[in-house]
Amino acid sequence: MSDNRKNNDNYDLGDILDSAIQFGTQVGSSVLGSIAEALEQAGDAMTRATAQPDSFSAWKRRLEQKWRGGGQAVGATLTAVGWTFVGCFGIAALVLGILTAVGAGPLGLTAEEFMAIPILTAVFTPVTLGFLFMAVVGMKKLSYFSRLRKLLRAANDWTCDLPTLARKAQIKQEKAYETVTKAVANGDFPNAAISDDYRTLYLDDSLCPAHSPTPQPAPAQTLTDGEQFNRDGVDFLNYLKICRGKLGPEADAEIAKMQKTCASILGFVHNHPEQRPRVRRFREYYLPTTRKLLDTAQGLGESDTANAAEIRRDITAILHTLNEAYTKLYDTLLQDVSMDVSTEIDTLEAMLRQDGLTHDFDADFKAK
């Protein structure tokens, strides 16, 4: 009986050990399986996150951080170092210049001792100018990245209308175009492209219809001065046509009058190319300035603030003044040609009478 109890104890202990081992194996397998499943799910999530396109706002934040640690930091360093040393060397150069003007006598120095002062002045002055140039470069760089940040923050999508973007960023259109073009060329807007008409910015060049990173410039074409004048004139007249209906009835009336007067001037010069030098200022200054003013008026959009109304009123007033000036210019051109025509007619009539090729109708009428 003692042996049977001993055998039963051994059997129970063995069963307990087997059960414990089996249970531990099941638990281990379950835990390992759960861990493996969790890792697999995490891997799938990371893969999906990688495969999803980057959000526009996250891209903007990363790009702005890149600018802050790159070009913007360089600009700040150049500005700080430049102005610091401009102050140091500039003051030294100024003091040495004053001492040089005073001379050795009042300073109680010998000629040999005094000689070092003008030499140091000659050294410190160009050094000061060099650091001044560094400071100016740094300030321009800071200004450039400041405009870039404004444009980036004003962008709401990968595709941006440049005039609208400039208006939202409160930057002049010409300056915005210049900044964006430089950013695309330098890679500050990575993988960006500009449309061929320079009106649309694609912050992702794959969205550009041509799929080209940068617009290809048109091949250079050599034009004569007369051909260029005619092209500029046609462009300006077309621009005036586009402006009509956008700035109010008073401005429209002035623009319509300007379109008619400028067309007369351009047509006259086309028929009398020898008069082209007389309209050089009209061509090179007045027309581009007129266009710039109209761009400014259109850039206000539909804003009805007091400042916007005042700007529109001032631009409409200057359009009236320009119309009077253009009308006077056209009359002046006609007067000069009228005098030439009168002279030619008088000469022609004299030669006809001399050659007996005219008929005296008055004498015939009196004879009857």
Q: Tell me: do 148 and 177 sit in the same domain.
A: yes
State residue 18's pLDDT score: 53
pTM of the model: 0.42
Question: Can you tell me the distance from the alpha carbon of 14 to that of 47, in angstroms, rounded to the nearest whole number?
Answer: 49
Tell me phi and psi for residue 68, to 5 degrees.
Answer: -65, -35
CA angle 359, 365, 366 (to 5 degrees): 115
Residue (of 96, 86, 77, 88) closest to 130 by Cα position: 86
Residues 204-225 have pLDDT tens digits of: 877 777 544 444 554 556 778 8
Residues 22-67 have pLDDT tens digits of: 544 454 445 445 544 554 555 544 444 443 445 888 888 888 888 8
Tell me the chain's radius of gyration from C-alpha atoms: 41
Structural domain boundaries enclosing 184: 61-207
CA distances from 229 to 95, 202, 225, 265, 279 (A): 56, 33, 6, 12, 10
Q: Where are the beta strands (DSSP E) in the chain?
A: 159-161, 193-194, 200-202
Q: Mean pLDDT, consecutive 10-residue segments, the chain of 368 residues?
A: 45 48 48 49 45 67 84 85 88 86 77 82 87 86 87 85 85 84 84 79 76 48 81 87 84 91 89 88 90 85 79 88 92 78 78 76 50
> How many domains does one find in the chain?
3
> By the 8 A CB rule, do 153 and 96 touch?
no
Q: Tell me: do 31 and 65 sit in the same domain.
A: no
State residue 120's pLDDT score: 85
Instruction: Answer with the one of 172, 207, 242 that is the final residue of a domain.
Output: 207
Q: Tell me: do 89 and 72 sit in the same domain.
A: yes
CA distances from 220 to 160, 185, 227, 341 (A): 28, 20, 14, 40
Q: Which residues of 4-15 are buried (b: 16+ CB within 10 A; e: fewer)?
A: eeeeeeeeeeee
In a domain, 350, yes or no: yes
Contact partners, residue 153, CB within 8 Å, separation at least 6: 60, 169
> By the 8 A CB rule, do 63 and 152 touch?
yes
Q: Tell me: do 75 and 168 sit in the same domain.
A: yes
